Structure 1
């Protein structure tokens, strides 16, 4: 599978030890060679350690150097978990690379609050204003731009059209009650409705997060995090809606011990036709094919349904992507590289060769897969956006969301207890 999925969660085991072994490369900060040529070297830290992205990005760096003869790009690549560990250490030391991978959200805010990140609002305005608005959301802090996206995506339902047809489901459900009816219809045909990687916890969190958005509205999760209080009735209601689903026993046998991307995991269960649906990000088709057979033309996509009477809309999306930020006072060459990377020509290369979704509207013509076009349509029409909770929140809070929701799915915590546990952890993080 490609880097979009790896960057989301690191759910393919990243070799932390191997990655950390690379950190001898990590002198940070752009510099001049001190000679008459006046060459500027900029360090670009990223997590593109898998193919084809690794080679594509290296080629783009060479292309940028060819267009800018007085600039050299030094690439430092670390796998997902190793990168996070090293960046945590660098943040504590007060010195970040010239250009570095960011998911936005809480970690980027910590780096900004520490005075380590360049405010890009004015330095990129001329061209960044033209990027897909929802793609920029994770990197906006106090209405200022601190990162430039190269990838964006959202979580939604990936489903087996043949299974839906057999169960008499004429169209994907658009309401929660309609979704529960679809689950019942699939069960009546002895089709497992949903595959879930219960062992890894985060896939179950997607349900609670979306139900909270649909019940309380797109801004509710951010407001609750700011207030350190998730005990409001609408968050409890979100848990009750998830409990309704769990009570239908919709998941595959042994789901509590199932991983995401293993041959017997969530993605393979859908890819091999053994379950009708999974709630997952835009990388799902690739992983279904890698871990299983894949569904080909039988695979479809639909957004998370609306909750009747809720404040949220079906056009409000939950997701995230990848971007680049700059260290404070980074050289102009680093800004120029961001502009190059965010150009329509570069974005087309990324879409065609690495499977990311376009962040430059002019590059959308490079997107040919019908399902990914459907995802892009949802993103283009998004009226609200919530970043993945384990990136939007402090790490301990994000982990508690995952743990508490997993306990609800397993039947060992009530919706009220989920809300109280998350609130308790949030207050402890103050």
Structure 2
């Protein structure tokens, strides 16, 4: 049986681009099983894969930890590529998410990027494009590649009407809930913010930490706040404000900050969360000790690993709606934004683009099977091979109005660091909600 969720992904992705791509411009037949490239792709890369001289491509990415849901999928796709194109070797260099962001920005500024690198579309990669560090690949996409992508899959990597990257998956934010802990303690799984507060208080009364977050890997805090701001303000206001066409002083952002501060004051997050890495903060959740974790859809692959202690206990839900908010249950954070780009100065443009296209198309399938992403390519898979948590995610977003890009992706340059630093201060209680929005407003100065 084919996975029914694939049919609605085209519409969902189209909506997600409208929701999250302010500042970016104006989006291949199913690849054969086993990772084999189509003949048209081979013909249109000027026989790069048939080069008689060995070529080594340096590829930087973030999927180096064995606990990452994408780890095995990335290894498989690279191995399959090297088997099909034995004259091209892929030399990997992996770095943890937050450190990678610093590394790739510094390398782009110094004009020392590798042949290929993983990145994020939207505002994150915009400086690389403006500095002419990334190869525009439009001429390589007219071989049927665009026909194999779902609608809108290239919108977040398109700048000034040119395509600079290839995406492979749609990611979305979700609240992963250990339903067993809720049922055992007779606590209602929350659908509204009021119910979330009731659940937090009930778990705390039992000596159970309600929610997991890492204060050291600040993007995990942002996962929570991005969703809360969306529920408070709605997509249009969030996007217009992040693109400097509004104001953080609007009451909706203060409402989101106040609610986040309330969760902190109630002890929703672990003691000492500010000093925990993501792996450290996730561990109690994965051991079945913490009932809630808000993070990206790739978490589905992690919780359903063979050695998982909670693989049959977790369900994904949307972040609870705010009764006084402008957002609704069908608005989600995320989108098709994880991408692979090619260094404009690589000596091996044909080979690099060949790998870029091969990797993203095959990663769309393998990442889907691993529960890491929903595919941005038109892949056919057997539903029985998809883990149930990912299937539930597909159902959850089937009525999505669209997706709002994560703030640290949509924001540009130093504004991202202003946001993350100030959010960390809010978690620590070092700033009030009012001071928090005041500091965000400095982005406009």
Give the structure-2-normalised TM-score. Answer: 0.72
106, 109, 115: which one pairs with 2:123? 106
Number of aligned residue pairs: give it. Answer: 384
1:160 paired to 2:178? yes
Indicate the structure with greater helix content.
1
Residue by residue over 1:93-122, the C-alpha shift from the partner in whole angstroms, topping out at 9 and shown as x without a partner, is 557555432222323111212233344456
Q: How does 1:43-58 map to 2 (within 5 A)?
A: 43=57, 45-47=59-61, 48-50=63-65, 52-53=72-73, 55-58=75-78
Per-residue deviation, residues 17-50 of structure 1 (Å, max 9, x unmatched): xxxxxxxxxxxxxx999xx977695735232545
For residue 25 of structure 2, what is the aligned residue in structure 1?
none
Equivalent position to 1:348, from 361, 365, 371: 365
- 2:127, 2:413 within 8 Å by CA — same for their partners in 1? no
User: Are 2:323 and 1:308 aligned?
Assistant: yes
Q: CA deviation at 1:409?
A: 2.9
2:376 aligns with one of 359, 369, 386: 359
Contact 2:371 2:387 in 1 (8 A): no
User: Who is 1:139 aligned against?
Assistant: 157
1:237-316 matches, cutoff 5 A: 237-262=255-280, 266-284=281-299, 294-316=309-331
Which runs of no fewer than 5 residues in structure 2 stay unpaired? 1-44, 66-70
1:323 to 323, 332, 339: 339
Structure with more relative contact order (C-alpha pairs < 8 Å, separation 6 or more): 2
Query: What is the distance in 2 between the residues matched to 1:387 and 1:305?
Result: 18
The Cα of 1:417 is off from its aligned counterpart by: 0.8
SS at match of 2:145: helix
* Contact persistence 1:40–1:333 (CA under 8 A): no
Is the partner of 1:155 in helix, strand or coil?
A: strand
Instruction: Supply the RMSD in Å over aligned alpha carbons.
Output: 3.7
SS at match of 1:385: strand
Q: Deviations over 1:322-358 (max 9, x none)?
A: 3212344984554444443344x66434444685543
Q: Is the 8 A contact 2:124 2:408 kept in 1?
A: no
Alignment of 1:18-417 (within 5 A): 41=55, 43=57, 45-47=59-61, 48-50=63-65, 52-53=72-73, 55-65=75-85, 72-80=87-95, 84=101, 87-94=104-111, 97-121=114-138, 123-124=140-141, 126-128=144-146, 130-133=148-151, 136-142=154-160, 144-170=162-188, 172-227=189-244, 229-262=247-280, 266-284=281-299, 294-319=309-334, 322-328=338-344, 331-343=349-361, 347-352=364-369, 355-365=372-382, 367-379=385-397, 381-394=399-412, 396-417=414-435
Distance in structure 2 (CA, Å) of the matches to 1:334 and 1:144: 18
Q: Deviation string for 1:27-74 (max 9, x for gaps)?
A: xxxx999xx9776957352325455356423323224426xxxxx434
In structure 2, what is the Cα distance between the partners aligned to 1:365 and 1:89? Answer: 42
Deviation at residue 239 of structure 1 after TM alignment: 0.8
CA-to-aligned-CA distance 1:370-398 (integer Å, 9 cap, x gap):
11222234455432223333333245332
Cα gap change, 1:277 to 1:354, in 2 (>3 Å):
closer
Asked whether the equivalents of residues 42 and 98 of structure 1 are also in contact (C-alpha less than 8 Å), the reply is: no
Conserved 8 A contact 1:225-1:393:
yes
Residues in 1 aligned to 2:353 and 2:114: alpha-carbon distance in whole angstroms: 13
* Matched residue SS, 1:168: coil
- Cα distance 1:150–1:379, how it changes in 2: closer, same or farther (>3 A)? farther
TM-score (ref. length: structure 1): 0.75
